[in-house]
Structure 1
Amino acid sequence: MTDPENILEESPDIDTFGGRFSRALDACELDTDQFARRMCVKPGTVSGWENDRSMPNFHRLNKIAGLLGVSIAWLLHGVGQGPAETEADKPEDMAKQLSRLKFLHAQTGQLISKLQLDLDRLAAADR
């Protein structure tokens, strides 16, 4: 647990609220629908929080933090008590995630190149 007197000395988690919320949701092994039922909100509302499309009202933050086992300060600012480390944080799992990310990055590059070629072809046809 974080010492409240030293909270300002911590390096903050620089992720967004949605990123921190999503990680905490994963760590407590609840899916969006289960969490929505516990919070008495629609799954789309929880999805909006996860994707930074919206923020929960202040009165909901205490319940969210309690259900996820994190501090309100961590959810909002990335300092304080975050989720406990899970099995997914093992180096071999992180290596798999990195490999998948590199694959997706390569696919994105290919799509960007194809789109650029299509745009160049269209521009040449208009001349």
Structure 2
Amino acid sequence: MTKDTDALTEADVDEAEAADAAEGWYSEERATFGDRLAAAREAAGLSQKSLAKRLGVKSKTIAGWENDLSEPRANRLQMLAGLLNVSLMWLLNGEGDGVAPPGEEDPLSKDARAILLEMRELKGEIETAAQRLARLEKHLQRVLEGGMS
């Protein structure tokens, strides 16, 4: 083997080790739920206050979650994952779709993230409105059936 081949092999090994480290950056062994939540919130360009407002909780609650003093309930976890564009499993244990480790470039621009966030919010509003409409339709049906008897 030549010296160039040895150098290439060492570089390949270094690159593989860096990739392994990056993949495990937010793993369950290296990071807590709070670490992953804070990273996802920052990657989404949100403050604790703005995330709290979108979730309908207090800023103090978000701070508690990020500092691992408490954990959100299941319904809030699902909302968090959607708002922050990460998978529920990634938030819980670091596996699945999450944010890029520090030092790696995010493939989405800030503008693209803002658009995605607004689309998710709108989708949530539409789902809430659809549920409300279904409840009203059922209520109207009961009223009409009760009025005819």
- TM-score over 0.5 (shorter chain): yes
TM-score (norm 2): 0.49
Q: Residue type matched to 2:78 in 1?
A: N
- State how far apart, in whole Å, the 2-side matches of 1:19 and 1:71 are: 15
1:89 aligns with 2:103: yes
Give the superposition deviation at 1:89. Answer: 2.3
1:70 aligns with 2:77: no
1:48 aligns with 2:68: no
Choose from 1, 15, 21 the match for 2:31.
15
SS at structure 2 position matched to 1:89: coil
1:27 aligns with 2:72: no
Alignment length (residue pairs): 80
Unaligned runs of 5+ in 2: 1-22, 106-149
Calculate percent identity across the aligned residue pairs. 43
Give the superposition deviation at 1:59. Answer: 1.1
Structure with larger Rg:
2
Q: Which has the higher contact order (CA 8 A, sep 6+)?
A: 1
- State how far apart, in whole Å, the 1-side matches of 2:104 and 2:71 are: 30
Q: Would you identify which runs of 4 or more consecutive aligned residues in structure 1 move more than 2 Å?
A: 88-91
Root mean square deviation, CA, Å: 2.2
Unaligned runs of 5+ in 1: 1-9, 92-127
Q: Deviations over 1:22-73 (max 9, x none)?
A: 0001100100000000000000000001100000001111110000000010
